[in-house]
Amino acid sequence: MGKTSTANLLLPFLFVLFSSSPPLITTEASKLGSFRFAPRFFGRFAANADLNNLQTHKSLKIQYETRYFTQVLDHFSFSNLPTFQQRYLINTDHWLGPNSMAPIFLYCGNEGDIEWFAVNTGFVWEIAPLFNAMVVFPEHRYYGKSMPFGSRDSAYKNAASLSYLTAEQALADFAALITDLKRNMSAEACPVVLFGGSYGGMLAAWMRIKYPHIAIGALASSAPILQFENIVPPETFYDIVSNDFRRESVSCFNTIKKSWDAIEAEGQTEEGLLRLTEEFHLCRNLRSTQDLEDWLESAYSYLAMVDYPYPSDFMMPLPGNPIKEVCRKIDSFPDGTSTLERIFAGVSVYYNYTGVVDCFDLGESNQDLGADGWDWQACTEMVMPMSSSQSTSMFTAYDFNYSSYQDECFKHFGIKPRSRWITTEFGGHNLLTDLKTFGSNIIFSNGLLDPWSGGGVLQNVSETITALVTKEGNVPQEFCFHPFASSCRSLGFHPRSH
């Protein structure tokens, strides 16, 4: 969603989670040691969001009924496992009914509370009336209220209970749910159109590929379906983040690049850690510089994902062009100001824009949440290798090391990742050629400043598989698929009527 990314339509993929050294806002980073995960899309935010405070769409009517559907736990075996209740949100206000062939818009739930995605996906709500469409938001299993085994604790207990948390099972859930819903509503003839952003965008694209008889087309926003194995260089993500800062200000880029050594130097001693605690206004004494570095990396990566030209409130309340704002702060001090003082001022734009934060909590408070669903997914099939290049990245140099990645996953969950499974299951190495041969009706939307765009589909594949690419910060006018669709209006976009 950055300015660019925005284009991205939906959510920035907070995917930033795993693979690399991304910024984890999360505590998991420290739990997983020096292991670098890729940045997460948004799981944690979505999980923690105060839904009552989400007022992004004051002007947009987002209303839905909440329902539950009894879902099979393992779609791919006949073992006698318990079923679970999958939550879904539905709105039929604008739908013309079964005889009209009016479409059903199905949003592929991401790794988080579905209500959060629903209120942050204005585009779908905005266009539904234009198409007389029904809107359905099924929640992804193991997130929000869609917990197998009766509770989050039981679902997240161990590798055995988590084993049904996979993209394939989630797609099968969507397929089973929509098929049953259509039958219940005598709507078998109504076409289903898929939507999704970030991980949800990957699901939308994959679902169109795997279930072409169920969905007629997909809009996959900011979906890095090529960010697996060696399909794109592992440096891509951090290079894009870094370039987003460098294009604002080279000195800002350089200050950030220097700051990691400054933090390491200071953190050598106990007193140094205390000084860092004070300098960065932390709530708790810093135990390792890694925690602080992860927190900073998170901020920079998310900033790249939400670098919109207008104020937004997607993950954090932010001014328009937040990277410019961060760099303006970092560059604004007189010569002789320490690197850390500059960095603190810069990152405060992200973490404390409203000025109401008393102290910064690096995320330890989330520890009691236990394992995060995205961590599990990243440690099983969603292995997205990420590196940080010495020469082109502003982050600490880091080479993706699959064997240490495996070790960390084993330590954490007692399982080994299957890094080649996604491309085996959904394709990847020759995906564009494959799609050209057998695929149709997918729109991939990306903003080039969005760090996830590096693993996205950026070229037109065929007449019916197209890429909408936004180079600078503009929301593509014809396709304002953005969490804050209402912001699109302020950019002069008005949905065309048909």
Ligand X SMILES: *[C@@H]1O[C@H](CO)[C@@H](O)[C@H](O)[C@H]1NC(C)=O
User: Cα–Cα distances in Å, from 218 out to 206, 284, 286, 465, 480?
Assistant: 9, 45, 45, 10, 15
Q: CA distances (Å), 324 to each of 33, 205, 247, 307, in order?
A: 32, 33, 9, 9
Looking at the Cβ atoms of 137 and 253, the one nearer to ligand X is 137
Expressed in angstroms, the distance from the first to the final Cα of the chain is: 27
d(Cα 151, Cα 109) in Å, to the nearest integer?
A: 19
Out of 127, 177, 296, 306, name the contact with ligand X by CB under 6 A.
177
Rounded Cα distance, 140 and 47, in Å: 12
Please report whether residue 281 would count as binding ligand X according to CB under 6 A: yes
To the nearest whole angstrom, how small is the minimum distance from the Cβ of residue 179 to ligand X? 8
Least CB distance to ligand X at residue 425 (A): 25
Q: Based on CB atoms, which residue is closest to ligand X, 233 or 370? A: 233
Q: Is 163 in the site for ligand X (CB under 6 A)?
A: no
- Contact between 28 and 39 under an 8 Å Cβ cutoff? The reply is no
For residue 188, state whether it binds ligand X (rule: CB under 6 A). Answer: no
Q: Which residue of 430, 459, 477, 490 would you call a contact of ligand X, by CB under 6 A?
A: 459
Site string for ligand X, 467-486 (x = CB under 6 A): x-x-----------------
The yes or no reply on residue 34 touching ligand X (CB under 6 A) is no
Minimum distance of ligand X from residue 156's CB (angstroms): 25
Instruction: Say whether residue 67 binds ligand X (CB under 6 A).
Output: yes
* Site for ligand X, residues 397 to 416, rule: CB under 6 A: 401, 403-404, 407
**Any contact of residue 184 with ligand X (CB under 6 A)?**
yes
**Quick check: 352 binds ligand X (CB under 6 A)?**
yes
CA angle 378, 384, 389 (to 5 degrees): 130
Q: Residue 286 carries which side chain, given as an amino acid letter?
A: L
Contact with ligand X (CB under 6 A): which of 269, 359, 390, 414?
Answer: 359
**Residues 307/321, Cβ–Cβ less than 8 Å:** yes
Q: Are 479 and 468 in contact (CB under 8 A)?
A: yes
Smallest separation, CB 153 to ligand X (Å): 25
Provide, rounded to whole angstroms, the least separation between the CB of residue 89 and ligand X: 12
Q: Which of residues 360-399 bind ligand X (CB under 6 A)?
A: 360
For residue 160, the minimal CB distance to ligand X (Å) is 26
Q: Which residue number, 181 or 241, has a Cβ lying nearer to ligand X?
A: 181
d(CA 171, CA 204) in angstroms, rounded, equals 9
Query: For ligand X, how many residues bind (rule: CB under 6 A)?
Result: 23
Return d(Cα 125, Cα 483) in angstroms, integer: 10
What phi and psi, each to the nearest 5 degrees, are found at residue 85? -95, 115
Query: Residue 258's closest CA among 339, 199, 332?
Result: 339
Q: Look at residues 60, 135, 136 and name the one whose alpha carbon lies nearest to residue 94.
A: 135
Interaction between residue 436 and ligand X (CB under 6 A): no
- Which residues of the chain form contacts with ligand X (CB under 6 A)? 67, 69, 177, 180-181, 184, 281, 348, 352, 355, 357-360, 401, 403-404, 407, 459-460, 466-467, 469
